[in-house]
Structure 1
Amino acid sequence: MPITIKPRTKSTELSKLETLARRLPARHPSAPRINDDLAQTRAGYHGEQSIEYYLHTAPASAHLLHDLRLKGPHNYFQLDLLIITASTLHIIEIKNIAGTIHYDPRTGQATRTLAGQTERIRNPLHQIKRQHAALSHWLSARAHPQLPIHTTVIFTNPDTILDTNCPAEFHQSEQLPELFQHYDPDTVPHTELSRDLAQSHKPLNRNLLEKYKIDRHALTRGVYCAHCESRLMQRQRYLWRCPSCAHTSRTAHHTALNEYALLFGNTITNKQAREFLNIRSRTTARTLLRSMRLVHNGKQSNRVYYLK
């Protein structure tokens, strides 16, 4: 089994989109766009998860780095998967797209046909060429050896069909073991390079409210029930209680405050907690925040808590 240097994890961007989609009313003008972006981001994440079985067939000496985001000469670039051996680097771009993929070598245009409808898609071949150039520049700028860089686009959806005009770089998941046969199984990769790449990763962490131009007051406030999911709980004495299923919890506000951190940042005041949790009592808010043992500074009304 290959060595995973940087594991695949659920991205902050996906967690933010899920939170925003749940707390934004369906009638909001930005809701359709957010739901589309969420569906695409989830599909990409599930596509990346689906190739895990085939990655086990890579040589045991290979190093794997998932979801790598690096600073390029002008902006950041992201690699779904980078495989490192002693003699080569292999960029794997993962696409979870159903339907028949067509490619016109004359125009460089890629399209997808599904349910009788044909639409243009971003050309993955252009994407991996840009990734190749960006990674080559990154290696040179940090004085790493200029190993040969190979690029492959893997289509993970079982309903994908690649037409005969698709480039040689286009493959389906089950073809990964064939690609791995070209690796040298007995040599050790450049450990220093793998470590530098992992340490240089900069996760995407942007403000989605600014991106979609959403006023924070448009979001639904309160604590969602973990059982009903879509229902808001009520604070009763020392518990949160769901009026729909009667589920109770002492810690339901933890999830809500984690969502607050995703949307607004990791600092919160008593007033902001009351507004977001939809409670009136300053004392209750203070008790809830203290129960989480959060680092804080300031006194009384000026106190700021740092969400983990």
Structure 2
Amino acid sequence: MNASLIPLQQSLIPIIDRWSAGHLDYATAIPGLNLFRRETPLPPAFCLIKPSVVLVVQGDKQMYAGDKTYPYDITRFLITSLELPAKSETLSASAEKPCLGLNLELDKRLITEMVAHGEVPSKSDVTEGCVGTGRVTDKLLESFQRLVSLLDEPEAVSALLPGVMREIHYRLLTSDQGSRLRQIASVEGQGYKIAKAIDWLCLHFSEPLSIDALSSQVQMSTTTFHSHFRRLTSMTPLQYQKWLRLNEAKRLMLNDDLDAASAGYKVGYESPSQFNREYSRLFGVSPRRDVEMLRTQLVS
């Protein structure tokens, strides 16, 4: 690791350590900024990653998306340009030296504005997929240091946050992962259209899905839509919808105490047997057994 980065990295640790104490995940008062703390290694857990950047300041993690694995640590940040089903794993952490970091949701409107106004260099490079890891630089760390420091200066947030957010997005757009963000910035681009389709799926996942209708809605042919959706997300639209349905069903059973059949109907399944079969295929156990295991873990 570059020696110049170490003091910057070290300066972030006590702030995140203090604000995340007692929490696994802490939603800060700054919109879109969440801190995380893990005091023990944790196996892969399902999650829905919003367009965001994840920065680790202590420890290391990795994410599984599609059939690929993305390790990241204090030298590499993780970035996703689309809302993406994935699994997150904590590789090294302890009570004495917890895995600490932050997750910042990206502002797609700001990205589009900065690209359209020529505030970042225009490049024609093409990047496969919507997720990757990039090299942490001193300039990027400095901008995140300014962001996290605002937690201790709440009266300055409204005045200083817009400038800090613009700087962070500029650093990301000019980083070695900038092409992932630029591909969703052009209204005429395929990445932008897939992002609009994902927005629709997240809002209407319990409804019957017509690929022809959805591709037409985002002004793409069915073949082109299917191809680009899979290229960017490593999933088909139907697989994406299924993931959203099953994870919402899990939430309903765990938090709202719904039985498996009721949860399945609520997220769009007409057949309890189909719901049980697809749930078991994704999570490895039946809905009832999975919820029992999760509740036992929460109690312990």
Is the TM-score greater than 0.5? no
Structure number with greater Rg is 1
Higher strand share: 1
More helix by share: 2
If asked which structure has higher relative contact order (CA below 8 Å, sep 6+), I would say: 1
For normalisation by structure 1, the TM-score amounts to 0.27
